[in-house]
Chain A
Amino acid sequence: MGNILEAPEIRLDAVELTLGATRFRLDCRIPAGAITAVAGPSGAGKSTLLNLIAGFETPTNGRVLFDEKDVTPLHPSERPVSLVFQDNNLFGHLDVFTNVALGVRPSLRRLGPPEREAVSAALVHVGLAGMEHRLPPSLSGGERQRVAFARVLVRRKPVLLMDEPFAALDPGLRLDMASLLSQLHRETGSTVVIVTHDPEELRRLSTHVLFMDRANILLQEPTADFLSHTDMPMVSQFLAG
């Protein structure tokens, strides 16, 4: 698949945001080209962190920086970011090919031959060769997430945000998908941020960890340091699963 644009470091610089009664104050650095896991109890604000980076939320104060570039005022479509959610990554009424092709060109014009080839190649890459014309409801949960990965590949964006992408899959499948993700990451070298509830997944995939609680970032450190942070009750509770 080849390398894409230079993967940026992501910085939240004194970002403030109020949602309902919750006030977020976020300040962190997410290293370039690494896989960073975001962990913490539910309601800690993990998805909000992703929404701020993707541009679905706009901070009331502070800036979101990709390397030195301030992306705070940019619309989601103008940020070099791809997204994978836990579910509903595909439009249920469009076939696999169209769902991936939307990543190449989100208009109604038909793709040219090279672009069509790129879509098919991406499907081969995620192990779904020949599934172009299947509809999402006829696929398994794992296959649907693979289609989402194929779209990430054709979009060639240097940042990949994932919100518990494997949480709906059973454990064996989760292992397969995690190794697919590491493989794709080795090839693209993009900056990956993955929200996870699963301590195994965090150990297996990430090199850095952001640990959040109640709208704050408590820890940001390499995974090895985080795993030895068992003196913090919240961390040991998380690692116990």
Chain B
Amino acid sequence: MLTTAERRTAIGTGLSAFAALVVFVALAVYALFRPDLPPSQTSFWTPYTMRVLRFTLLQAGLSTLLSIGLAVPVALALARRPRFPGRLWILRLMAVPMGLPALVAALGLITVWGTQGMVNDLLLGFGLDEPVNIYGLGGILLAHVFFNLPLACRLMVASLDRLPGEYWMLAAQLGMKPAVIFLRIEWPALSRILPGIGTLIFMLCATSFTLVLVLGGGPAATTLEVAIYQALRFDFDPARAMTLALLQIGVTAVVLAVLSLLPAAEEASVTTGRRSRRLDGRGTASVIWDAVMICCATLMLLLPLGAIVWAGVRADLTGLLTSTAFRQALATSTMVALSSSIAALLLSVAIIGARLTVRETKTPGKPLLALSAALGTAPLLVLLVPPVVLGTGWFLLLRPLASGSSLTAGLVVSINTLMALPFVIRVLEPAMQEHRRKTGRLTASLGISGWARIWRIDRPALIRPALLALSFAMSLSLGDLGAVALFASNDFVTLPWHLYSRLSSYRTADADGLALLLGALCLVLTLIGTSGYERRGNSHG
């Protein structure tokens, strides 16, 4: 219910936002295709690129299998015990890795599983002298499982908790044995969502940069993204970076295409859903098995988190906080995070607004419908071209120009903006849609429009979801190492880069302290950013 002028403005703004997005991505991709390099250098299928591609797919495939394979028994155990004390906290704990910067988690994992870590000390104590090696494929898999097992587990528990309570009563009454319950009830429910979860995890692992940079990196354990970074920053071989970037786009395109064909897993009511009564799994063996599964998963998450805190508080925190380097990095990070999250918010509002306006139009006609569909692909476009690839394209474009820190800052802000866009749209779109549905006709009939409508009608209803989205976007940007890695210089250091350079120069105590500060900051922002979901769930429970 908008006036014609308002409709035009809404659609025009959305179109401009989308155009800016497309141009930014397209320019980067265009730079990757530039033919001005000698053909011998741009050959695609060298043994090196093949090895990197194979390792990228191998580690992503193994990470996916391990994460899901280990998550299934944990999810079954958690779903089978809907009301033990601490269950809600374990499920909340499983959301923590989502808000933790990869670099911070890597540090925690090294403290637990590294050469001088707790696990190896324990193994040595038992007389085993083969220490677990955190570097290489093993470490990458460990880190990917740390991030993705909880994700898979939450989605699976949600899907099992959503099964009708009558199923469990019928199963008990019909006298179904555990194997039958698994094959007849639990597995059919899980198998519907497993392809979607698997592809999502594969996507996350195939584009994972920071974890591979810190834990892999050697020639034997390099993924496309890290190889791009090495080609640009160490070997200065733009041709190779281009080839690798194109391969990376190819991989993400295939995975995204598969993902779009699969049903998505919903997480709606994971922590507050109706708790069904489970009558199976009363035997001692079953109770012990489930307890072991749940404890192992919890420990796997808690130990690295605990290690971050434990190592962090032993660092000279006041010294760190007052150091010039830290203050500068904090200022830079805050600037980048604030500008990129506000930009992501504005772009998202423009794009969603245009889509909703088209949807409300009575007879939209083909061009408008096509536009709306195109706007809907914005999040997809961003996922298709990962940050490091975007960065590579722009790196190549801007190479001829003198590099300045304001240019660098602009690029990092833009890339972080794009990274946050899919998440911001996902938080805002349902809220804006609901708001329009509730208030559209009334505001139109009262003739409230323009700034009056934005201030008096939209602001009160949408300020909360907007702040949530902003907080989540800031956390993403604050923890990001990918975009910065390509452009960081002495004049442009963000917190994650500061932390990474401390780690690379073996200032481990400093790194531990920084990891604690950065991790805490990002977690608080993510918690604020996701608090809306649980509150919404509670009002129903």
Binding site for B on A (CB under 8 A): 54-56, 75-79, 81-83, 85, 87-89, 91, 93-94, 102-103, 106-108
List of A residues within 8 angstroms of B176 by Cβ: 102, 106-107
Asked, given contacts A77-B174, A108-B183, whether A56 binds B167 with beta carbons under 8 Å apart, the answer is no
List of B residues within 8 angstroms of A102 by Cβ: 174, 176, 184
Within 8 A of A (CB), among B166-207: 166-167, 169-177, 179-180, 183-185, 188
| Interface range, B side | 20 to 34
Closest residue on chain B to residue A57 by CB atoms: B277
* 8 Å CB contact of A89 from B165, B166, B172: B166
User: Is the beta-carbon distance between A83 and B170 smaller than 8 angstroms?
Assistant: yes
* 8 Å CB contact of A91 from B167, B169, B177: B167
User: Is the beta-carbon distance between A103 and B174 smaller than 8 angstroms?
Assistant: yes
List of A residues within 8 angstroms of B185 by Cβ: 91
List of A residues within 8 angstroms of B306 by Cβ: none
* 8 Å CB contact of B169 from A54, A79, A94, A107: A54
CA distance A89 to B167 in the complex (A): 7
List of B residues within 8 angstroms of A93 by Cβ: 188
User: Is the beta-carbon distance between B164 and A88 smaller than 8 angstroms?
Assistant: yes
Asked, given contacts A88-B164, A93-B188, A108-B179, whether A81 binds B170 with beta carbons under 8 Å apart, the answer is no
User: Is the beta-carbon distance between A88 and B172 smaller than 8 angstroms?
Assistant: no
User: Is the beta-carbon distance between B169 and A83 smaller than 8 angstroms?
Assistant: yes
* 8 Å CB contact of B172 from A77, A94, A107, A108: A77
User: Is the beta-carbon distance between B167 and A88 smaller than 8 angstroms?
Assistant: yes
Given A87-B164, A88-B167, A108-B184, 9 other A-B contacts at CB below 8 A?
A: A56-B169, A76-B169, A76-B279, A83-B170, A88-B165, A94-B184, A103-B174, A106-B171, A106-B176
Smallest Cβ distance from B276 to chain A, in angstroms? 11
Smallest Cβ distance from B45 to chain A, in angstroms? 45
CA distance A101 to B160 in the complex (A): 24
For this complex, 23 residue pairs linking A to B, each with C-beta atoms less than 8 Å apart, are: A54-B169, A54-B173, A56-B172, A76-B169, A76-B172, A76-B173, A78-B175, A79-B173, A81-B173, A83-B169, A83-B173, A88-B165, A89-B166, A89-B170, A91-B167, A91-B188, A93-B188, A102-B174, A102-B176, A102-B184, A103-B174, A107-B176, A108-B180
Chain A interface main SS type:
loop
CA distance A83 to B168 in the complex (A): 12
User: Is the beta-carbon distance between B169 and A106 smaller than 8 angstroms?
Assistant: no
Smallest Cβ distance from B145 to chain A, in angstroms? 29
Smallest Cβ distance from B283 to chain A, in angstroms? 11
CA distance A89 to B171 in the complex (A): 11
User: Is the beta-carbon distance between A106 and B167 smaller than 8 angstroms?
Assistant: no
CA distance A107 to B181 in the complex (A): 9
* 8 Å CB contact of A85 from B166, B175, B184, B188: B166
Asked, given contacts A54-B173, A56-B279, A77-B175, whether A88 binds B180 with beta carbons under 8 Å apart, the answer is no
User: Is the beta-carbon distance between B174 and A91 smaller than 8 angstroms?
Assistant: no
CA distance A186 to B177 in the complex (A): 33
Within 8 A of A (CB), among B152-168: 164-167
List of A residues within 8 angstroms of B167 by Cβ: 88, 91
User: Is the beta-carbon distance between B183 and A87 smaller than 8 angstroms?
Assistant: no
Smallest Cβ distance from A119 to chain B, in angstroms? 14
User: Is the beta-carbon distance between A75 and B177 smaller than 8 angstroms?
Assistant: no
CA distance A79 to B173 in the complex (A): 8
User: Is the beta-carbon distance between B188 and A107 smaller than 8 angstroms?
Assistant: no
Map CB proximity to A onto B428-464 as digits: 1 under 8 Å, 0 otherwise.
Answer: 0000000000000000000000000000000000000
List of A residues within 8 angstroms of B165 by Cβ: 88
Closest residue on chain B to residue A163 by CB atoms: B166
List of B residues within 8 angstroms of A79 by Cβ: 173
Smallest Cβ distance from B273 to chain A, in angstroms? 16
User: Is the beta-carbon distance between A75 and B172 smaller than 8 angstroms?
Assistant: yes
CA distance A54 to B184 in the complex (A): 22
List of A residues within 8 angstroms of B172 by Cβ: 55-56, 75-77
List of B residues within 8 angstroms of A56 by Cβ: 169, 172, 277, 279
List of A residues within 8 angstroms of B171 by Cβ: 106
Closest residue on chain B to residue A51 by CB atoms: B169
